[in-house]
Copies of this chain bind each other. A is one copy, B any other.
C-alpha cells in the first residue's frame, strides 16, 4: 500500500516534469513565432496549451484520489500541496506562452518585435528556457542547491525586462504606441513565466525542508540551509 502511494507520487512528479518540458518547448516556439512572424508556429503553441491544461488536471485528480485512498503522512501532505501549486504555476507558464503566440498571430505578417529588441527578447527566451529546465531538474532531484540557482537566473530576467522599458522610453523609439504596447505585454509574459518557474523551485524547497518562503532570496537569507552560511 505504502509502495503504491510512493509510486503514485512519482507519477505525479513525472507529470510535472513533463509539464516543464512542454512549456519549455512552447516558450521556444512562441519566441520564434514572435521574432520570425511565423503564424503556423504560433498556432502550434496556442493549440498545444490544451495538453498542459490537461496534465494540470491529471495531477489534481491524481492527488485527490491519493488523499482519498490513504491517510498521507506529513511529508506526503507537503508533496500533495506542492504538486497542486506547481501544476498551477506550470499551467500559467503555458498561458504565458499562449499569450506570446497570440501577439505573434495578431501582428502577422509583421513581427511584433522591432529589430533592435530582438537580442533582448532572444535572451529573455533563453533565460526562461534555462529556468524551466532547471525547475524540471529540481522537481525530479529535489535538490535544494540547484533550486536556489533559479534566483540568480531570474535576476538576469529582471534586468532584461528593465532593458526593454529603457529602449521603449528612449527618444530613439520610432515604432509608436502599438509596438510599445506589444513589447510591454511580451515583456510581462517573459517575466511572469520566469517568476512562475522560480515559484516551482520555491515549492520544491518547501517540500524538502518544510520551510515556507516567499522567494528564493528569503531562503538564501536564512541560516543553515546553505551549509551554515550566515542568516
Contacts and interface: CB of A to CB of B under 8 A. Distances in A.
A68 B74 contact: yes
A72 B77 CA distance: 13
A90 to B, nearest CB: 13
Contact of A180 (B73, B80, B84, B177): B177
A64 interface: yes
Interface stretch (A5-13, A129-137, A181-189): A181-189
A77 B63 CA distance: 10
Copies in the complex: 2
B84 A53 contact: no
Interface residues of A, number: 31
A88 B74 CA distance: 21
B180 A181 contact: yes
B72 A67 contact: yes
A151 interface: no
Contacts of A204: none
Interface in A18-67: 53, 57, 60, 63-64, 67
A4 interface: no
A18 to B, nearest CB: 20
Contacts of A159: none
A115 interface: no
Contact of A77 (B68, B74, B173, B184): B68
A29 to B, nearest CB: 22
Contacts of A181: 165, 168-169, 180-181, 184
B85 A53 contact: no
Given A88-B88, A177-B180, A188-B188, 17 more contacts: A63-B81, A64-B78, A67-B67, A67-B72, A68-B73, A68-B74, A81-B84, A84-B84, A84-B85, A85-B88, A165-B181, A168-B177, A169-B178, A180-B180, A181-B184, A184-B184, A184-B185
Pairs A-B, 9 closest by C-beta atoms: A177-B180, A181-B184, A184-B184, A71-B71, A64-B77, A67-B77, A180-B180, A169-B178, A68-B77
Interface of A: 53, 57, 60, 63-64, 67-68, 71-74, 77-78, 80-81, 84-85, 88, 165, 168-169, 173, 177-178, 180-181, 184-185, 188, 212, 214
